[in-house]
Amino acid sequence: MSAELSLSDRQTRILDYIINYLGEHKIPPSIRDIGRAVGISSTSVVNYNLTKLQEMGLIERMPEVSRGLSVNFDQLDQGSPADLAGALLATGMTNGLIRVPVLGHIQAGAPVDVPDVRTWETAEEWVQLTAGMFGDPAKLFALRVQGDSMKDASVLDGDIVILHYQESANNGDMVAAWLDGDDETTLKYLHKRGDTVELRPANDDYQPIVRPADKVRINGKVVSVIRYMN
């Protein structure tokens, strides 16, 4: 993709919506679907922006076919325009797969700092998953595990955990939790106890981490674990 290629905010939102719609429904959206989603009442204006995306090589259109719209994922994979939103980068699908950013390491043991989970565009590593398995792909991110405090939950040193970005979770969920004051993130089981939060390991060699509830911030819930065999 040419480095000079630039999308307007409206075109970015249209492309983002098309990709998310494809991921959820497995078919392209209609012109009216797109208009409603991005706040355009005129179908001619939607068509104008779709034509621009087609001229950039980002989509293909078949006017004689109902919902005759497809995304050129190979073109997207060659490099997205600089102003394309981070959420769009995180939802790029190829042949039924989604690309999920690996945003650093997380300690399954003593907590360590990790990058802000919302800055998808900083990712230097990605993993591919089957589309539709974990809900909205724009809210998925991955972290590489260091340490063995979760080994009895089959989360081992070197594994990659896939997380759904969310700011709350239920007791017993495995979460990435940010500890205010410590300025660190750790991977543990969540247990709320009144005004405190207990973050429990899955290894008897480690002690739970107990903090005031207002000093613990949930960054995401673990939805899957990937292990690469040597």
Q: Which residues are catalytic?
A: 149, 188
**Residues 6+ positions from 108 with CB-CB distance below 8 Å:** 145, 146, 147, 148, 149, 150, 151, 155, 157, 186, 187, 201
The number of beta carbons lying within 10 Å of the beta carbon of residue 87 is: 18
How far apart are alpha carbons 125 and 89 in whole angstroms? 12
Coil, helix or strand at residue 69? strand
**Residues 6+ positions from 193 with CB-CB distance below 8 Å:** none
Angle between helices 43-55 and 9-25 (to 10 degrees): 90
**Residues 6+ positions from 218 with CB-CB distance below 8 Å:** 166, 167, 168, 169, 175, 176, 177, 178, 190
Instruction: Report residue 118 CA to chain centroid gap.
Output: 8
Bridging pattern class, strands 140-146 and 97-107: parallel
Q: Where are the alpha helices (DSSP H) in the chain?
A: 9-25, 31-38, 43-55, 73-77, 86-90
